[in-house]
């Protein structure tokens, strides 16, 4: 969904019981698996501190580390490209593929490629792109975008997937058995891996010290994409770099445990350059595209910069009571859930995301489990603030949510609540006459959709405390 | 695109924090935890078996006939091996004397020259490992000119030899003792089970793209 | 256990003032029954959280500033709400950073303690149950848990009560959907969350829903009332007082 009002799309999702059941079941499973693993594996706090430190150290020296990464990669024969915008990024990938005469591309999971709408772009160039991750393959078949950054097809249940495969895969037999569905996808994709002219992948961590790209996955599709075709193009945002290889174990442990409750993924694939002389497989040509797409602007603000710590584990989604109820497609842009709520307003501009920063109860469940301790709630509050400030240049579209009426309400509220001689009479009045407030009052009407009318007490706490003779100081 | 590069770096430098005090790192949570040898093996086995890895204990015995017998029992038609590695040579030497069994296929040419044949092969691929990691239940593989990456990736069954004496407590300990960062190979892999997915309703299914089965042979 | 002070400040919160004054008074009574003098500064109104959460920093600071001068003595500031306590404890520092009130704000923030934390961690209260058998469910507020670090304290108090059976609400750490202004600014999502929470509470079969935060009680209680459910929403202070009359 491009930039629709979140509230509208959320309303639609809330009215879809099948969708809600799919997310509820999946998020419950993911939460309990993560909790079990961290409970058994101890030292969550120490691991988290270590992971956060690695990310903070990387951000503190980001430009320098990117240059070092580039130098190391070039030394190992990787061609490094920089893109300020998704258009530039797409053009770079398109040029590489055109030069190699590529007609068929297989692709591992990459959220950056989703940011770029790369598939759409390449199809326009006449290049067939096949998503190889099973979840991505499922949604590609249905012309959808990921509803979760780790589990892209989590919004579908097996019945829906069975129907999709039956309708879209030639010669498929109808089955709701997960093993059969998986085998079907394997058969289709294996032939594509064999024939593919190029493989595209994302990057989980890029190690500046050694010029190593670390890719994590369970299926083996990532390994196939980066090993079998003659060309490998890796895509990453500028924030993916870390200083040293010895920081990988902690980040990896946090990533896989937080994402899916696994101690490690089936494969950790560390790539340091294309095939060398004498090697029998691996791509003979390897590229890394480093994408900005608004990240440098995020980086410029000391508080907002914390968003760039993110290691894309998706745990904030799994633990978010809002995401669980509306699912990923209700959110504008590429990244849903809490991380999306603090990233997309900055990438797209506050004027494009409607009330998104306000669509949170600030329950802080995300902050509590974030493996690199991003203060998600604080950043949300900051973005709400930016929405009311026309004088700020920190975020594109600052001031877009300014409303004279709201400002007036808050000024009045502050004046009353900051002034005891106004506050106490207001409370006195509400306790006596609050019952007379018209039920059509905007806030009251919304409150009363599923709740009874709130009843003001007959005497305030101030009155009772004074009556009880409590000292004032 | 040099313009994009300098534009990005310039913007980052302009926004970079003026005073940088990077937080210290305490590696205790990922460092070795002083496990004994048997405990290491037990941990590794538990973790890997939890994700359907199979084990064949050939310690104190000759592992070549052990693999031969296992493959015959599983009715596997072929074994692809790296002929210039030590285990490859040993198998090639001993296999003919073991009687009827899987056909040996040496991986002795570039992938491009036999891609279709390799993808069509329905047997096992055999690799050595550089050890294991107890905490996560992982094998360390460094594919090379002699032992290609696809050997552990394309055949439906992956057979990996693991020297029990080379199991480390943690990944951090392994990378420090083996000094990975001094000279990273083109590809370094941690393999912690057969290929799997949970993309459909969170239900685990094995063998989605990579090997459907992983057999660890303890030597 | 920290030393028990002779006196404490009591910050009753604006929601208790308007909607749950009996809960506020029950907290005061519990403290006084333990021999702790309770000071109730008359100038108090609100911690500033509604405006702060809405991104109205200046308005939040204006209201919060009016509270800073109310607690001059070095005494704990007891708050019968994890959310308001959390606002003061976790956010006052950032809210006042760089202002002339920064030091005063830090001094207030450091002394803020949530009521059940004070009762358990400072007083060591072991309430003695005088009431008839009852089954209750507990709902902890997000900010009590995640901003104030309230852990087992409320449940320890409830489990001390001999005739009280405590049952667990499914997904008990999940937010009830109140979120202050969120409840009316995003009414569809908030309603869905509140409805789910009420369903989970009703499913426990409990006769009362106990919480330490008036916001959650107003929210979940509102759904329960609209549906005519027999589960009674109640603040933990009021429940403890009703069960013990200060005995313990």
pLDDT digits (tens, 9 = 90+) for A196-254: 999 999 999 999 999 999 999 999 999 999 999 999 999 999 999 999 999 999 999 99
Which residue, among A246, A214, A222, A396, has the nearest Cα to A311 in the 3D structure?
A: A214
Task: Identify the architecture of domain A43-293 in CATH.
Answer: 3-Layer(aba) Sandwich (3.40)
CB contact (8 A) between residue A355 and residue C191: no
Give the pLDDT confidence of A6-26 residue by residue, as tens digits.
Answer: 999 999 999 999 999 999 999
pLDDT greater than 80 at residue C1: no
Q: How far apart are CA A252 and CA A51, in angstroms?
A: 9
The answer to whether residues A272 and A234 touch, using CB atoms and an 8 Å cutoff, is no
Q: Residue holding tokens 């901003």? A: C147
CA distance A41 to chain C (A): 21
CB contact (8 A) between residue B181 and residue A296: no
Confirm or reject contact between B19 and chain A (CB < 8 A).
Answer: no
Q: Is C231 in the same domain as C130?
A: yes
The answer to whether residues A306 and A252 touch, using CB atoms and an 8 Å cutoff, is no
Give the pLDDT confidence of A373-390 residue by residue, as tens digits.
Answer: 999 999 999 999 999 998
Q: Is C50 in the same domain as C75?
A: yes
CB contact (8 A) between residue B9 and residue A66: yes
CATH of the domain at C185: 3.40.50
The answer to whether residues A309 and A59 touch, using CB atoms and an 8 Å cutoff, is yes
Neighbour tally for A421: CB within 10 Å: 8
| Biggest CA pair distance of chain A | 91
Give the β-pairing of C37-39 and B124-127: unpaired
- Name the residue among B136, B149, B209 with its Cβ closest to that of A264: B136
CB contact (8 A) between residue C177 and residue A321: yes
Q: Is C118 in the same domain as C130?
A: no
Q: How far apart are CA A364 and CA A370, in angstroms?
A: 10
- Shortest CA distance from A361: residue in chain C: C179
Confirm or reject contact between A451 and chain C (CB < 8 A).
Answer: yes
Q: Is C33 in the same domain as C47?
A: yes
Q: Is C115 in the same domain as C170?
A: no
Domain residues for C203?
126-244
- Report angle CA A441, A446, A451 to the nearest 5 degrees: 110
> Domain boundary at C78, C94, C122, which?
C122
pLDDT greater than 70 at residue A4: no
Q: Considering the domain boundaries, does residue C1 fall inside one? A: no
Q: Considering the domain boundaries, does residue C2 fall inside one? A: no
Q: Name residues 45-64 of chain A within 8 A of B (Cβ).
A: 46-47, 49-50, 52-54, 56-57, 60-63
| Biggest CA pair distance of chain B | 73
Q: How far apart are CA A143 and CA B31, in angstroms?
A: 45
The 3-state DSSP class for residue A205 equals strand
Chain A positions touching B132 (Cβ under 8 A) are none
Q: What does the pLDDT profile of chain B (219 residues) look like in tens digits?
A: 459 999 999 999 998 876 667 889 999 999 977 888 899 999 999 999 999 999 999 998 899 999 999 999 999 999 999 999 999 999 999 999 999 999 999 999 999 999 999 999 999 999 999 999 999 999 999 999 999 999 999 999 999 999 999 999 999 999 999 999 999 999 999 999 999 999 999 999 999 999 999 999 999
Give the pLDDT confidence of A336-375 residue by residue, as tens digits.
Answer: 999 999 999 999 999 999 899 999 999 999 999 999 999 9
Give the pLDDT confidence of A408-433 residue by residue, as tens digits.
Answer: 999 999 999 999 999 999 999 999 99
CB contact (8 A) between residue A451 and residue C194: yes
Q: Name residues 59-98 of chain B within 8 A of A (Cβ).
A: none
pLDDT greater than 60 at residue C84: yes
For B35-218, the fitting CATH number among 3.30.420.40, 3.40.50.10420, 3.90.650.10, 3.40.710.10 is 3.40.50.10420
The answer to whether residues B186 and B194 touch, using CB atoms and an 8 Å cutoff, is no
Strand ranges in A239-387 using DSSP code E only, listed in sequence order? 241-242, 267-271, 285-291
CB contact (8 A) between residue B22 and residue A25: no
CA distance B71 to chain A (A): 23
> Domain boundary at C78, C101, C122, which?
C122
Q: Is C130 in the same domain as C238?
A: yes
Q: Is C115 in the same domain as C132?
A: no
Confirm or reject contact between A79 and chain C (CB < 8 A).
Answer: no
Q: How far apart are CA A101 and CA A195, in angstroms?
A: 13
Name the H helices within A196-245.
Answer: 221-227
Chain B positions touching A81 (Cβ under 8 A) are 1
pLDDT greater than 60 at residue A3: no
CA distance A426 to chain B (A): 47
CB contact (8 A) between residue C10 and residue A417: no
pLDDT greater than 50 at residue A286: yes
Q: Considering the domain boundaries, does residue C144 fall inside one? A: yes
CB contact (8 A) between residue B195 and residue A189: no
> Domain boundary at C122, C147, C179, which?
C122
Distances (CA, A) of C204 to A20, C21, C135, C169, C200: 22, 28, 9, 6, 7
Tokens representing A419 are: 């002034």
Which residue, among A471, A424, A420, A417, has the nearest Cα to C75 in the 3D structure?
A: A471
Chain A positions touching C97 (Cβ under 8 A) are none
The answer to whether residues C166 and C158 touch, using CB atoms and an 8 Å cutoff, is yes
Neighbour tally for C64: CB within 10 Å: 27
The answer to whether residues A78 and A274 touch, using CB atoms and an 8 Å cutoff, is yes
Please tell me the total count of domains within chain C: 2
CA distance A104 to chain B (A): 16
What pLDDT, on a 0 to 100 scale, did the predictor assign at position A1?
Answer: 40
For residues A80-94, average pLDDT: 98
Give the β-pairing of A241-242 and B54-57: unpaired
Q: Is C117 in the same domain as C203?
A: no
Q: Is C61 in the same domain as C29?
A: yes
- Name the residue among B4, B186, B199 with its Cβ closest to that of A273: B186
Q: Is C199 in the same domain as C235?
A: yes
Q: Name residues 173-212 of chain A within 8 A of B (Cβ).
A: 178-179, 181-183, 185-186, 189-190, 193-194, 209-212
The answer to whether residues C213 and C145 touch, using CB atoms and an 8 Å cutoff, is no
Domain range annotation of chain A: 43-293, 404-467
- Report angle CA C242, C246, C248 to the nearest 5 degrees: 115
Neighbours of chain B (3+ CB pairs under 8 A): A
Neighbours of chain A (3+ CB pairs under 8 A): B, C
Q: What is the ipTM of this complex?
A: 0.97
Write the Ramachandran bin of C127: left for phi over 0, alpha for psi from -120 to 50, otherwise beta.
Answer: beta
DSSP one-letter string for chain C: -PPPPSEEEE---HHHHHT-HHHHHHHHHHHHHTT-EEE--TT----SHHHHHTT-HHHHHHHHHHHHTT--SS--EEES-HHHHHIIIIIHHHHHTTSTTHHHHHHHHHHEEEHHHIIIIII-------SPPEEEEEE--HHHHHTS---SHHHHHHHH-TTEEEEPPTTTTS--S-TTTHHHHSHHHHHHHHHHHHHHHHHTT-SEEEES-HHHHHHHHHHHHHHT--PEEEEHHHHHHHHHTT--
Neighbour tally for A180: CB within 10 Å: 16
Which residue, among B91, B60, B94, B54, has the nearest Cα to B73 in the 3D structure?
A: B54
């Amino acid at each position: 969904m491009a930039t629709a009002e979140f509230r509208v799309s959320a309303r639609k999702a809330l009215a879809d019981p099948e969708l809600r059941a799919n997310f509820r079941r999946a998020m419950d499973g993911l939460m309990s698996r993560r909790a079990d693993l961290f409970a058994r594996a101890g030292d969550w706090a120490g691991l988290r501190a270590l992971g956060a430190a690695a990310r903070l150290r990387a951000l503190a020296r980001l430009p320098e580390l990117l240059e070092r990464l580039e130098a190391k990669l070039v030394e190992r024969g990787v061609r490094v490209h920089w893109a300020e915008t998704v258009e530039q990024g797409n053009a770079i990938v398109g040029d590489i593929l055109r030069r190699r005469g590529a007609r068929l591309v297989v692709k591992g999971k990459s959220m950056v490629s989703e940011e770029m709408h790369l598939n759409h772009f390449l199809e326009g160039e006449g290049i067939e792109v096949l998503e190889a991750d099973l979840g991505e393959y499922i949604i590609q078949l249905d012309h959808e975008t990921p509803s979760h950054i780790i589990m892209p097809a989590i919004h579908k249940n097996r019945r829906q997937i069975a129907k999709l495969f039956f309708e879209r895969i030639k010669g498929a037999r109808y089955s709701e058995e997960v093993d059969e569905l998986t085998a079907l996808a394997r058969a289709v994709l294996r032939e594509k891996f064999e024939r593919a002219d190029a493989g595209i992948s994302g990057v989980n961590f890029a190690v500046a010290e050694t010029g190593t790209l670390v890719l994590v996955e369970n299926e083996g599709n990532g390994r196939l994409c980066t090993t079998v075709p003659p060309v490998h193009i890796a895509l990453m945002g500028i924030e993916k770099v870390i200083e040293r290889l010895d920081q990988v174990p902690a980040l990896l442990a946090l990533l896989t445990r937080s994402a899916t409750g696994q101690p490690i993924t089936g494969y950790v694939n560390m790539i340091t350059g294309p095939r060398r002389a004498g090697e029998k497989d691996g791509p003979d040509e390897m590229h890394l595209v480093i994408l900005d797409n608004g990240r440098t602007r995020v980086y410029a603000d000391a508080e907002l910069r914390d968003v760039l710590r993110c290691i894309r584990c998706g745990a904030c989604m799994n633990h978010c009571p809002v995401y669980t109820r509306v699912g990923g497609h209700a959110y504008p842009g590429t990244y849903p859930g809490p991380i999306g709520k603090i990233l997309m307003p900055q990438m797209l501009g506050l004027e494009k995301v409607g009330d998104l920063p306000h669509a949170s109860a600030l329950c802080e469940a995300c902050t509590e489990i974030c493996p690199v301790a991003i203060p998600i709630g604080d950043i949300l509050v900051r973005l709400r603030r930016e929405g009311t400030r026309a004088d700020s240049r920190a975020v594109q579209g600052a001031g877009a949510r300014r409303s004279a009426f709201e400002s007036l309400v808050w000024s009045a509220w502050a004046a009353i609540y900051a002034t005891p001689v106004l506050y106490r009479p207001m409370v006195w009045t509400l306790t006596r006459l609050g019952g007379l407030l018209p039920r059509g009052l905007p806030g009251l009407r919304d409150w009363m959709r599923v709740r009874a009318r709130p009843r003001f007490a007959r005497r305030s706490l101030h009155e009772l405390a004074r009556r009880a003779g409590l000292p004032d100081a | 695109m040099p313009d994009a590069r300098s534009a990005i770096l310039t913007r980052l430098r302009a926004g970079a924090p003026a005073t940088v005090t990077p937080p210290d790192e305490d590696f205790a949570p990922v460092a070795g935890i002083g496990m004994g040898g048997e405990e290491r093996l037990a941990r590794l086995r538990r973790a890997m078996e939890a994700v359907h890895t199979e084990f064949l204990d050939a310690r104190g015995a000759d592992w070549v006939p052990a693999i031969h017998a296992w493959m015959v029992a599983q009715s596997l038609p072929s074994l692809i091996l790296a002929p210039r590695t030590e285990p490859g040579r040993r198998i090639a030497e001993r296999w003919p004397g073991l009687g009827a069994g899987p056909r040996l296929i040496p991986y002795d040419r570039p992938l491009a020259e036999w891609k279709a044949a390799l993808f069509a092969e329905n047997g096992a691929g055999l690799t050595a490992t550089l050890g294991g990691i107890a905490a996560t239940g992982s094998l360390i593989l460094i594919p090379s000119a002699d032992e290609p990456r696809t050997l552990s990736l394309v055949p439906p069954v992956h057979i990996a030899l693991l020297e029990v004496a080379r199991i480390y407590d943690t990944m951090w300990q392994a990378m420090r003792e083996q000094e990975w960062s001094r000279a990273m190979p083109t590809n370094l892999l941690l393999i912690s089970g057969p290929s799997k997915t949970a993309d459909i309703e969170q239900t685990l299914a094995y063998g989605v793209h990579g090997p459907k089965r992983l057999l660890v042979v303890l030597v | 256990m920290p030393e028990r002070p002779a006196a404490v400040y009591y910050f009753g919160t604006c929601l208790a003032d308007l909607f749950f004054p009996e809960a506020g008074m029950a907290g005061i009574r519990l403290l006084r029954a333990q021999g702790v003098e309770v000071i109730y500064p008359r100038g108090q109104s609100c911690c500033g959280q509604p405006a702060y959460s809405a991104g109205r920093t200046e308005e939040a600071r204006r209201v919060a500033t009016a509270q800073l001068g109310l607690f001059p003595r070095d005494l704990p500031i007891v708050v019968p709400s994890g959310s308001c306590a959390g606002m003061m404890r976790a956010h006052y520092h950032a809210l006042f950073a760089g202002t002339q009130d920064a030091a005063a704000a830090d001094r207030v923030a450091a002394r803020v303690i949530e009521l059940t934390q004070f009762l358990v961690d400072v007083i060591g209260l072991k309430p003695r149950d005088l009431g008839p058998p009852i089954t209750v469910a507990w709902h902890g507020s997000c900010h009590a848990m995640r901003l104030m670090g309230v852990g087992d304290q409320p449940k320890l108090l409830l489990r001390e009560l001999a005739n009280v059976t405590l049952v667990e609400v499914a997904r008990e750490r999940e937010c009830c959907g109140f979120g202050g202004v969120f409840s009316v600014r995003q009414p569809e999502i908030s309603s869905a969350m509140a409805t789910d929470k009420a369903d989970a509470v009703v499913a426990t079969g409990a006769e009362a829903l106990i919480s330490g935060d008036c916001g959650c009680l107003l929210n979940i209680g509102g759904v329960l009332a609209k549906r005519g459910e027999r589960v009674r929403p109640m603040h933990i202070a009021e429940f403890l007082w009703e069960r013990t009359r200060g005995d313990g």
